[in-house]
Protein backbone atom coordinates (compact mmCIF):
# COMPACT_ATOMS: atom_id res chain seq x y z
CA UNK A 1 0.00 0.00 0.00
CA UNK A 2 3.00 2.29 0.46
CA UNK A 3 3.20 3.06 -3.23
CA UNK A 4 -0.33 4.38 -3.63
CA UNK A 5 -0.31 7.74 -5.40
CA UNK A 6 -0.92 10.79 -3.19
CA UNK A 7 -4.63 11.58 -2.74
CA UNK A 8 -4.12 15.01 -4.29
CA UNK A 9 -3.00 13.29 -7.51
CA UNK A 10 -6.06 11.03 -7.43
CA UNK A 11 -8.33 14.05 -6.97
CA UNK A 12 -6.66 15.82 -9.89
CA UNK A 13 -6.48 12.80 -12.18
CA UNK A 14 -10.18 11.95 -11.75
CA UNK A 15 -11.34 15.58 -11.65
CA UNK A 16 -12.85 15.26 -8.16
CA UNK A 17 -13.26 18.95 -7.46
CA UNK A 18 -15.37 19.14 -4.29
CA UNK A 19 -19.12 19.45 -4.79
CA UNK A 20 -20.94 21.53 -2.18
CA UNK A 21 -24.25 19.87 -3.00
CA UNK A 22 -22.80 16.47 -2.03
CA UNK A 23 -21.27 17.80 1.20
CA UNK A 24 -17.76 17.10 -0.03
CA UNK A 25 -14.94 18.11 2.30
CA UNK A 26 -12.09 15.68 1.85
CA UNK A 27 -9.52 14.52 4.37
CA UNK A 28 -6.04 14.06 2.92
CA UNK A 29 -3.80 13.75 6.01
CA UNK A 30 -2.82 10.07 6.26
CA UNK A 31 -1.87 10.34 9.95
CA UNK A 32 -5.24 11.80 10.88
CA UNK A 33 -7.03 9.20 8.74
CA UNK A 34 -5.10 6.37 10.44
CA UNK A 35 -6.08 7.85 13.81
CA UNK A 36 -9.77 7.81 12.85
CA UNK A 37 -9.46 4.23 11.60
CA UNK A 38 -8.03 3.25 15.02
CA UNK A 39 -11.01 4.62 17.00
CA UNK A 40 -13.10 1.41 16.73
CA UNK A 41 -10.13 -0.70 17.89
CA UNK A 42 -8.38 -3.45 15.97
CA UNK A 43 -10.08 -3.84 12.60
CA UNK A 44 -7.89 -6.68 11.29
CA UNK A 45 -10.25 -9.18 9.67
CA UNK A 46 -13.32 -7.13 10.68
CA UNK A 47 -15.92 -5.66 8.36
CA UNK A 48 -16.01 -1.88 8.01
CA UNK A 49 -18.82 0.07 6.38
CA UNK A 50 -17.89 3.46 4.99
CA UNK A 51 -20.47 5.95 3.81
CA UNK A 52 -19.17 8.47 1.30
CA UNK A 53 -15.57 7.38 0.64
CA UNK A 54 -15.04 10.16 -1.90
CA UNK A 55 -11.48 9.92 -3.25
CA UNK A 56 -10.77 7.17 -0.69
CA UNK A 57 -8.52 8.63 2.00
CA UNK A 58 -10.32 7.03 4.93
CA UNK A 59 -10.85 3.91 2.81
CA UNK A 60 -7.08 3.58 2.48
CA UNK A 61 -6.67 3.84 6.25
CA UNK A 62 -9.32 1.15 6.82
CA UNK A 63 -7.67 -1.17 4.30
CA UNK A 64 -4.28 -0.55 5.92
CA UNK A 65 -5.84 -1.51 9.26
CA UNK A 66 -6.77 -4.87 7.73
CA UNK A 67 -10.53 -4.37 7.43
CA UNK A 68 -12.82 -5.80 4.78
CA UNK A 69 -14.42 -2.59 3.54
CA UNK A 70 -17.82 -2.02 1.98
CA UNK A 71 -18.15 1.59 0.80
CA UNK A 72 -21.23 3.37 -0.58
CA UNK A 73 -20.60 6.48 -2.67
CA UNK A 74 -23.20 8.54 -4.47
CA UNK A 75 -20.83 10.59 -6.63
CA UNK A 76 -20.16 8.52 -9.73
CA UNK A 77 -17.00 10.55 -10.47
CA UNK A 78 -15.35 8.83 -7.48
CA UNK A 79 -16.05 5.27 -8.62
CA UNK A 80 -13.05 4.85 -10.99
CA UNK A 81 -10.72 6.25 -8.33
CA UNK A 82 -12.12 3.77 -5.80
CA UNK A 83 -11.86 0.94 -8.34
CA UNK A 84 -8.17 1.76 -8.67
CA UNK A 85 -7.85 1.57 -4.88
CA UNK A 86 -9.65 -1.81 -4.85
CA UNK A 87 -6.92 -3.19 -7.09
CA UNK A 88 -4.30 -2.49 -4.45
CA UNK A 89 -5.81 -4.99 -2.05
CA UNK A 90 -7.77 -7.45 -4.16
CA UNK A 91 -10.91 -8.75 -2.49
CA UNK A 92 -10.76 -6.32 0.44
CA UNK A 93 -12.85 -3.43 -0.90
CA UNK A 94 -16.38 -3.54 -2.30
CA UNK A 95 -17.61 -0.25 -3.72
CA UNK A 96 -21.29 0.39 -4.23
CA UNK A 97 -22.44 3.34 -6.30
CA UNK A 98 -25.59 4.55 -4.61
CA UNK A 99 -27.32 6.51 -1.91
CA UNK A 100 -26.50 5.51 1.68
CA UNK A 101 -30.03 6.44 2.70
CA UNK A 102 -31.36 3.65 0.49
CA UNK A 103 -29.17 0.78 1.67
CA UNK A 104 -30.44 -2.13 3.75
CA UNK A 105 -27.39 -2.34 6.00
CA UNK A 106 -28.62 -5.36 7.98
CA UNK A 107 -28.37 -7.37 4.76
CA UNK A 108 -25.40 -5.57 3.19
CA UNK A 109 -23.02 -5.27 6.15
CA UNK A 110 -24.26 -7.24 9.19
CA UNK A 111 -21.93 -6.84 12.16
CA UNK A 112 -19.87 -4.09 10.53
CA UNK A 113 -18.02 -1.27 12.22
CA UNK A 114 -19.25 1.94 10.64
CA UNK A 115 -16.35 4.32 10.04
CA UNK A 116 -17.26 7.37 8.06
CA UNK A 117 -16.63 11.00 7.36
CA UNK A 118 -20.28 11.48 6.58
CA UNK A 119 -21.71 14.16 4.37
CA UNK A 120 -23.20 16.56 6.92
CA UNK A 121 -26.51 16.78 5.12
CA UNK A 122 -27.22 13.06 5.52
CA UNK A 123 -25.17 12.33 8.65
CA UNK A 124 -27.80 13.08 11.27
CA UNK A 125 -30.56 11.35 9.26
CA UNK A 126 -28.47 8.18 9.02
CA UNK A 127 -27.49 8.30 12.68
CA UNK A 128 -31.08 8.69 13.85
CA UNK A 129 -32.14 5.82 11.58
CA UNK A 130 -29.39 3.60 12.97
CA UNK A 131 -30.30 4.50 16.56
CA UNK A 132 -34.06 4.13 16.31
CA UNK A 133 -34.47 0.60 14.98
CA UNK A 134 -37.66 -0.72 16.61
CA UNK A 135 -36.03 -4.02 17.55
CA UNK A 136 -32.67 -3.54 19.22
CA UNK A 137 -30.43 -6.00 17.46
CA UNK A 138 -28.23 -3.38 15.80
CA UNK A 139 -26.58 -4.56 12.59
CA UNK A 140 -23.59 -2.36 13.51
CA UNK A 141 -20.85 -3.32 15.97
CA UNK A 142 -19.82 0.31 16.50
CA UNK A 143 -20.22 3.74 14.92
CA UNK A 144 -17.18 5.98 14.36
CA UNK A 145 -18.59 8.98 12.61
CA UNK A 146 -17.54 12.56 11.86
CA UNK A 147 -20.03 15.33 12.63
CA UNK A 148 -19.97 19.08 12.88
CA UNK A 149 -18.64 19.73 16.38
CA UNK A 150 -21.91 21.25 17.53
CA UNK A 151 -23.84 18.12 16.45
CA UNK A 152 -21.21 15.85 18.04
CA UNK A 153 -21.67 17.74 21.32
CA UNK A 154 -25.43 17.25 21.14
CA UNK A 155 -24.96 13.50 20.66
CA UNK A 156 -22.74 13.03 23.73
CA UNK A 157 -24.30 15.74 25.94
CA UNK A 158 -25.07 15.15 29.62
CA UNK A 159 -28.22 16.38 31.41
CA UNK A 160 -28.16 20.02 32.46
CA UNK A 161 -26.04 21.19 29.54
CA UNK A 162 -27.40 23.39 26.77
CA UNK A 163 -26.50 20.72 24.20
CA UNK A 164 -28.60 18.06 25.98
CA UNK A 165 -31.73 17.18 24.05
CA UNK A 166 -33.47 14.60 21.95
CA UNK A 167 -30.35 13.49 20.09
CA UNK A 168 -28.48 12.81 23.37
CA UNK A 169 -31.32 10.68 24.71
CA UNK A 170 -31.70 8.74 21.45
CA UNK A 171 -27.94 8.16 21.31
CA UNK A 172 -27.51 7.19 24.95
CA UNK A 173 -30.59 5.31 26.18
CA UNK A 174 -29.35 2.02 24.69
CA UNK A 175 -25.86 2.97 23.47
CA UNK A 176 -22.83 4.70 24.89
CA UNK A 177 -21.59 7.77 23.01
CA UNK A 178 -18.22 9.50 23.39
CA UNK A 179 -16.31 12.28 21.66
CA UNK A 180 -13.32 10.44 20.22
CA UNK A 181 -11.41 13.13 18.37
CA UNK A 182 -11.79 16.84 17.64
CA UNK A 183 -10.93 17.68 14.02
CA UNK A 184 -9.92 21.20 13.03
CA UNK A 185 -11.67 22.68 10.01
CA UNK A 186 -8.31 23.20 8.33
CA UNK A 187 -7.86 19.41 8.08
CA UNK A 188 -10.45 19.34 5.28
CA UNK A 189 -10.13 20.26 1.62
CA UNK A 190 -11.92 22.58 1.17
CA UNK A 191 -12.25 23.63 4.84
CA UNK A 192 -15.86 23.84 6.04
CA UNK A 193 -17.01 26.88 8.04
CA UNK A 194 -17.20 24.99 11.32
CA UNK A 195 -15.10 22.62 13.43
CA UNK A 196 -15.76 18.88 13.42
CA UNK A 197 -15.43 15.94 15.79
CA UNK A 198 -15.47 12.16 15.54
CA UNK A 199 -18.05 10.44 17.75
CA UNK A 200 -17.73 6.83 18.86
CA UNK A 201 -20.92 4.95 19.71
CA UNK A 202 -21.23 1.41 21.05
CA UNK A 203 -24.54 -0.44 21.39
CA UNK A 204 -25.60 -1.50 24.90
CA UNK A 205 -28.43 -3.69 26.11
CA UNK A 206 -31.80 -2.02 25.63
CA UNK A 207 -33.72 -1.34 28.86
CA UNK A 208 -36.61 -3.80 29.12
CA UNK A 209 -40.23 -2.83 28.59
CA UNK A 210 -39.70 0.39 26.62
CA UNK A 211 -40.65 0.96 23.00
CA UNK A 212 -38.45 3.23 20.92
CA UNK A 213 -41.50 4.98 19.52
CA UNK A 214 -42.46 6.00 23.08
CA UNK A 215 -38.98 7.42 23.76
CA UNK A 216 -39.19 9.29 20.46
CA UNK A 217 -42.59 10.81 21.23
CA UNK A 218 -41.65 11.63 24.81
CA UNK A 219 -38.40 13.39 23.91
CA UNK A 220 -40.00 15.19 20.96
CA UNK A 221 -42.68 16.63 23.26
CA UNK A 222 -40.37 17.33 26.22
CA UNK A 223 -37.64 19.06 24.21
CA UNK A 224 -40.06 20.62 21.73
CA UNK A 225 -40.67 23.19 24.44
CA UNK A 226 -37.46 22.80 26.41
CA UNK A 227 -37.82 26.02 28.41
CA UNK A 228 -41.25 24.98 29.69
CA UNK A 229 -42.01 22.83 32.71
CA UNK A 230 -42.82 19.20 31.91
CA UNK A 231 -46.42 19.62 33.05
CA UNK A 232 -46.81 22.08 30.16
CA UNK A 233 -44.65 20.45 27.48
CA UNK A 234 -46.07 16.94 28.06
CA UNK A 235 -49.70 18.04 28.39
CA UNK A 236 -50.60 16.89 24.88
CA UNK A 237 -48.95 13.47 25.11
CA UNK A 238 -51.44 10.85 26.36
CA UNK A 239 -50.29 9.11 29.53
CA UNK A 240 -47.15 11.19 30.00
CA UNK A 241 -48.23 13.25 33.02
CA UNK A 242 -49.60 10.16 34.79
CA UNK A 243 -46.29 8.39 34.06
CA UNK A 244 -44.34 11.29 35.64
CA UNK A 245 -46.46 10.81 38.72
CA UNK A 246 -45.88 7.04 38.79
CA UNK A 247 -42.12 7.69 38.60
CA UNK A 248 -42.22 10.38 41.31
CA UNK A 249 -40.83 13.00 38.91
CA UNK A 250 -41.77 16.57 39.75
CA UNK A 251 -43.78 17.98 36.82
CA UNK A 252 -42.35 21.45 37.41
CA UNK A 253 -38.94 20.26 36.22
CA UNK A 254 -37.71 21.02 32.71
CA UNK A 255 -36.74 18.38 30.15
CA UNK A 256 -33.05 19.23 30.23
CA UNK A 257 -32.81 18.30 33.94
CA UNK A 258 -34.03 14.71 33.42
CA UNK A 259 -31.41 11.97 33.43
CA UNK A 260 -31.59 9.46 30.58
CA UNK A 261 -32.70 6.82 33.11
CA UNK A 262 -35.61 9.09 34.08
CA UNK A 263 -36.75 9.39 30.45
CA UNK A 264 -36.54 5.60 30.23
CA UNK A 265 -38.57 5.18 33.42
CA UNK A 266 -41.30 7.57 32.22
CA UNK A 267 -41.49 5.86 28.82
CA UNK A 268 -41.69 2.46 30.55
CA UNK A 269 -44.55 3.67 32.74
CA UNK A 270 -46.34 5.02 29.65
CA UNK A 271 -45.90 1.69 27.84
CA UNK A 272 -47.01 -0.28 30.90
CA UNK A 273 -50.18 1.81 31.09
CA UNK A 274 -50.78 1.10 27.38
N1 LIG B 1 -14.63 10.05 3.11
C2 LIG B 1 -14.06 11.10 2.26
C3 LIG B 1 -12.99 11.83 3.04
O4 LIG B 1 -12.98 11.68 4.28
O5 LIG B 1 -12.21 12.53 2.45
C6 LIG B 1 -15.13 12.05 1.75
C7 LIG B 1 -15.95 12.75 2.79
S8 LIG B 1 -17.10 13.94 2.18
C9 LIG B 1 -17.40 14.84 3.70
C10 LIG B 1 -18.64 13.10 2.04
C11 LIG B 1 -18.76 12.06 0.91
O12 LIG B 1 -20.07 11.49 0.93
C13 LIG B 1 -18.60 12.62 -0.49
O14 LIG B 1 -17.74 11.81 -1.22
C15 LIG B 1 -20.02 12.59 -1.09
O16 LIG B 1 -20.03 12.41 -2.49
C17 LIG B 1 -20.61 11.39 -0.38
N18 LIG B 1 -22.08 11.42 -0.27
C19 LIG B 1 -22.89 12.49 -0.13
N20 LIG B 1 -24.17 12.11 0.02
C21 LIG B 1 -24.17 10.74 -0.02
C22 LIG B 1 -25.18 9.76 0.09
N23 LIG B 1 -26.45 10.09 0.28
N24 LIG B 1 -24.83 8.46 0.00
C25 LIG B 1 -23.53 8.10 -0.19
N26 LIG B 1 -22.52 9.00 -0.28
C27 LIG B 1 -22.83 10.30 -0.20
Domain boundaries, the chain: 7-203, 212-273
Q: How confident is the model at residue 2 (pLDDT cuts 50, 70, 90)?
A: low
Q: Is 87 annotated as a binding residue?
A: no
Q: Are 230 and 251 in contact (CB under 8 A)?
A: yes
Q: Is 153 annotated as a binding residue?
A: no
Question: ipTM strictly over 0.95?
Answer: yes
Which is nearest to 39 in space by CA: 65, 63, 59, 60? 65
At 84-97, the pLDDT tens digits run: 999 999 999 999 99
Q: Which of 21, 119, 120, 151 has most ligand 1 atoms within 8 Å of CB, for mutation?
A: 119
47: which strand partners? 68
Any idea which fold 7-203 has? Rossmann fold (3.40.50)
Q: Is 17 annotated as a binding residue?
A: no
CA distance 162 to 159: 8
At 157-210, the pLDDT tens digits run: 999 999 999 999 999 999 999 999 999 999 999 999 999 999 999 999 999 999
For position 259, what pLDDT does the model report?
A: 98
Helices (H), 77-116: 79-88, 105-108
Cis check for the bond before 242: say yes or no (omega within 30 of 0).
no
Distance of CA 52 to the CA centre of its chain: 13
Distance of CA 89 to the CA centre of its chain: 27
pTM for the whole thing?
Answer: 0.96
For position 86, what pLDDT does the model report?
A: 97
Q: How remote is the CA of residue 19 from the centroid of ligand 1, in Å?
A: 10
CA distance 37 to 63: 9
Which is nearest to 138 in space by CA: 252, 62, 49? 49
For position 1, what pLDDT does the model report?
A: 53
Q: How remote is the CA of residue 29 from the centroid of ligand 1, in Å?
A: 17
Any idea which fold 212-273 has? Helicase, Ruva Protein; domain 3 (1.10.8)
Residues framing ligand 1 (Cβ under 6 A): 22-27, 51-54, 57-58, 72-75, 78, 99-101, 117, 119, 122
The chain-wide mean pLDDT, for the chain, equals 96
At 42-78, the pLDDT tens digits run: 999 999 999 999 999 999 999 999 999 999 999 999 9
Q: Is 121 annotated as a binding residue?
A: no
CA atoms within 13 A on the CB side of 36: 33
Q: Are 267 and 215 in contact (CB under 8 A)?
A: yes
Amino acid sequence: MSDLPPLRDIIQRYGLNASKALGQNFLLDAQLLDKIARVPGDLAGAMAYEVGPGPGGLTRALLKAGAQVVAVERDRRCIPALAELAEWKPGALQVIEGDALEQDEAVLVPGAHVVSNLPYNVGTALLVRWLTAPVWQPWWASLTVMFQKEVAERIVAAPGSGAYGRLAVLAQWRSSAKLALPVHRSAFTPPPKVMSAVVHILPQDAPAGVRVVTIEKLTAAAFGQRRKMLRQSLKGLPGALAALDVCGIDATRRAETLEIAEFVAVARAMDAAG
